[in-house]
Amino acid sequence: MPHNFTRLDEARNGTNPTVVCKLSSGWVFLGDSQFLRGYSILFADPEVSSLTSLAASARAQYLSDYALLGDAVQAVTGAARINYSILGNVLPLLHGHIFPRYETEDTEAKRRAVWTYPDFEARLPRFDLGRDAKLMQALCAKLRELGCAVADIDYPWTKFV
């Protein structure tokens, strides 16, 4: 599937600092905005346009990895709950968002989708490898503990922990 999306290419060649780890079904990234600490995304690799583009076994693996990523984020961050979102309307490449939700969020905001936060994508704090490396290490370790097949490669965060 040809693409013009560089995040996966950067993950594959080790140059994307937001990479948490490589799982059987794809790559885990921390989101560029970390105002909800632990916001993560699982991009399918190999690339497909949607969940329905995957064979049954690959779909099951992706959904298992996706659910376990949610479990890992909740365990590591202490989030009250996890919101899951697979859209594909803007970027036609299978990727699932993991949004940790916290009791400390504004009462009205807690009842609505994360996308309704004003300027969601630009909100602070932004991803910072120096600050977020320990979170990334903890997520990777928790995913292994939960039984995910985490690729044993040199991730960018390893230089900061």
* Matching residue, tokens 């919101």: 83
Mean pLDDT of 92-121: 90
CA–CA separation, 19 and 29 (whole Å): 4
The answer to whether the beta carbons of residues 19 and 43 sit under 8 Å apart is no
Does residue 160 fall inside a structural domain?
no
Q: Which of 81, 113, 112, 102 is nearest to 37 (CA)?
A: 102
CATH code at position 60: 3.30.428.10
Residue 40: pLDDT above 60?
yes
Q: How many domains does the chain have?
A: 1
Does any domain span residue 92? yes
* Residue 53 domain boundaries: 6-147
The pLDDT tens digits of the residues spanning 73-91 come to: 999 999 999 999 999 888 8
* This model's pTM is above 0.85: yes
Q: What three-state secondary structure class fits 54?
A: coil
Which residues, in sequence order, are bridge partners of residue 161?
Answer: none
User: Could you tell me the pLDDT band of residue 16, with boundaries at 50, 70 and 90?
Assistant: very high
Mean pLDDT, rounded, of the chain: 93
